[in-house]
Structure 1
């Protein structure tokens, strides 16, 4: 077996050799962009799903398809260390200067830059700890109030009008969108509401954890009508076979049916884990076809890699109280879990665990699939906790 020819690619956001089981979502994105290009209203998209299901991969593919069709894309990743304005300003500046260059003295592009200058000045935005500025006079009274909810819609309008002047469609892609704070989320929703009302050529495709619909609804009641929320879940058995067998055969290798079924059973169809088991099984096999015994040899190696990287890195960032809470969840078996059962298992008062629960939801470690229920945002995390972390009822979690 040639290790260099191994087609599988376990990694954060790494595109798989075969993108399978996602045709419906990709068609939704294509339809959205095509309808907006024809000035027809359509819901923007918020892709939701657990960690490791391929949301980032989907955003990357949607961006690729958009650029191939001649659309302009802006891709950012939200995180707690930088505000939304700081993330948006550099790519919007680049876009507006490019629109101005292509058009040659474009009135709308210059106006957009002036509005952006006012937006920057009002918020005193810093990028990488350096105050950001534009060498252009601001347009007074446009997006310069310092109120993000008022200014962001006006900024988006100016940018979209500059694109419209050149018959361009803008696609804004935001990964990890659940990390926007409440004010930023509200401002973004208001801006996209205005885009739809005025039928301007700017669409949003976001991706985040399953809490997204609730966050959007809490920000603005009309968000449930403004966006569609496609769920990105695990692959079915047939798609797992395609994801493994097709790229292997292109490299002159194959899997036996028993090996494919075993990988599906272990990974439960989660794409990141499928790539991990495909990668390690390939490297473990002495020759083709890759059989059941090769997968069984690969399993402890793949599990060790996941425990020390994918799982452990997340666990080690938590406080002692959070670690204890999650380990107690896992001890109850497979989720979702009733909050009351967790409280009973830990033998503490509800009020003592409320802040811990809220903080972990905010940090994206757990989510609430329904009222009174909790579950992990990382697939198979409960198995890792039971396998690698001591029971807090027996000893202190370390």
Structure 2
């Protein structure tokens, strides 16, 4: 079939043609946004899930809803080697510049820009294009204490947005890469917005361990945020994710072929797109048959092994590779920490630093006490398939 007409989009954060199985999550986010901008309370949200479950897609969906509802939106991604202040400064500057162009918000936005100059100075942020005629406001957001200063910046932006009858929504992807003090500062700032009843919300996406990390950072985090779990799609939603895009192109697929796709992908959205993409490209025409899925599987796994899985594998040191290979040798997770230690013939405590390092890199997480599992679905299959140990 014509590859140009292929409806599937297996890219990082790319919106699938059918956002199946996420209606409740999107609906809850929309209600929260609508409530906050009219002065009613609602909790900010952190989407929790493994790699490939569509958290980034959902954040982008929230961004579009927010802009429709009158918010100014800012999207940042937390990398492993950059501070929160460096990432968030341009986002705050952008929203204040936009608000300063609105007559009703000009005064409050200018105050915010003054505070931002102090914030930049306190955290040694390169200003780049310096605001003409804007001097820092001494004593505002310039203490060098991130929890205090970020809260003051959120308040300055919130007051300017409220003056303009608008809101501000900050979206943070890969939130697990924030340092503990940075995560605590965001939580404190959100708490301040709730107390001041200002139209500011935070939506974030992160790996499953972030719920515990946020609770460790600030004990009241569980009351400020809701944590929707973004997992694999159920059978019906997974079928819709394949069937509906094909139907829109007047292409059918055999029922057994869909079952084969679900079996191979585990219902994870990213992998559904990958298999759908290759199934389309290998099929001679409609309907797509089970034999087509077998060939699509070979192509999908080859591409995943060379890219999606390999990129993550290459982040690990030799000792860390040894650890994840020991996990995979035990079959499907989650895995008992003690069982992995037995495979490596070491004491569990001696492996603690190695395990912690792999968790910090976002490759594994602890679903419950004494257990670990991969954050990347099918990664254990990749290790076994390539016989890397």
Asked if structure 2 preserves the Cα contact closer than 8 Å seen for 1:6 and 1:282, the reply is yes
The answer for the alignment partner of 1:95 in structure 2 is 95
Match of 2:101, SS state, is helix
| Structure 1, unaligned runs of 5 or more | 392-398
Q: Give the match's secondary structure for 1:203.
A: strand
> Could you say which residue in structure 1 is the equivalent of 2:348?
350
Aligned equivalent of 1:384: 382
Q: SS at 1:232's partner residue?
A: coil
User: Which aligned segments of 4 or more residues in structure 1 are displaced greater than 3 angstroms?
Assistant: 130-135
The 2-side partners of 1:105 and 1:200 are apart by 14
> What is the root-mean-square deviation in Å for CA atoms of aligned residues?
1.3
Instruction: Provide the rounded CA distance (Å) in 2 between the counterparts of 1:71 and 1:147.
Output: 28
Q: How does 1:180-219 map to 2 (within 5 A)?
A: 180-219=178-217
1:103-142 equivalence runs, <5 A: 103=103, 106-126=106-126, 133-135=130-132, 136-142=134-140
Structure 2: 5+ residue runs without aligned partners?
A: none
Partner residue in 1 for 2:13: 13
CA deviation digits over 1:320-374, x for unaligned, max 9? 0000100000001110001000000110122331111001111100000000000
Deviations 1:23-42 (A, max 9, x none): 11101111111111121221
Separation in 2, partners of 1:359, 1:20: 35
Offset, 1:389? 3.1
Distance 1:132 1:347, change over 3 A: farther
> Per the alignment, do residues 233 and 288 of structure 1 end up closer, same or farther by CA in structure 2, a change over 3 Å counting?
same
Structure 1 residue 105 displacement after superposition? 7.4
TM-aligned CA deviation for residue 261 of structure 1: 0.8
Paired residue for 2:302? 304
Deviation at 1:133, TM superposition (A): 4.7
Counterparts of 1:45-124 in structure 2, within 5 Å, are 45-103=45-103, 106-124=106-124
Query: CA offset at residue 390 of structure 1?
Result: 2.9
Moved more, 154-163 or 295-304: 295-304
Contact 1:120 1:133 in 2 (8 A): no
Tell me, yes or no, if the aligned pair for 1:121 and 1:133 is still in contact at 8 Å.
Answer: no
Report the alpha carbon displacement of residue 70 of structure 1 after superposing the two structures with TM: 2.5
After superposition, the C-alpha distances for 1:95-144 in whole angstroms (9 at most, x for unaligned) are 11111112277210110111111111111114xxx767544111111111
Q: Are the aligned partners of 2:105 and 2:160 in contact in 1 as well (CA < 8 Å)?
A: no
Match of 1:394 in 2: none
Q: CA deviation at 1:69?
A: 2.4
Residue aligning to 1:231: 229
Change (3 A) 1:105 1:289: closer
- 1:106 match: secondary structure: helix
Q: Deviations over 1:160-212 (max 9, x none)?
A: 00001111011110000110001101111100000011111000000000011
Measured in 2, the distance between the counterparts of 1:206 and 1:310 equals: 22
- Paired residues of 1:124 and 1:132 also in contact (CA < 8 A): no
Inter-partner Cα distance in structure 1 for 2:36 and 2:104: 25
Provide the aligned length of Structure 1 versus Structure 2. 388
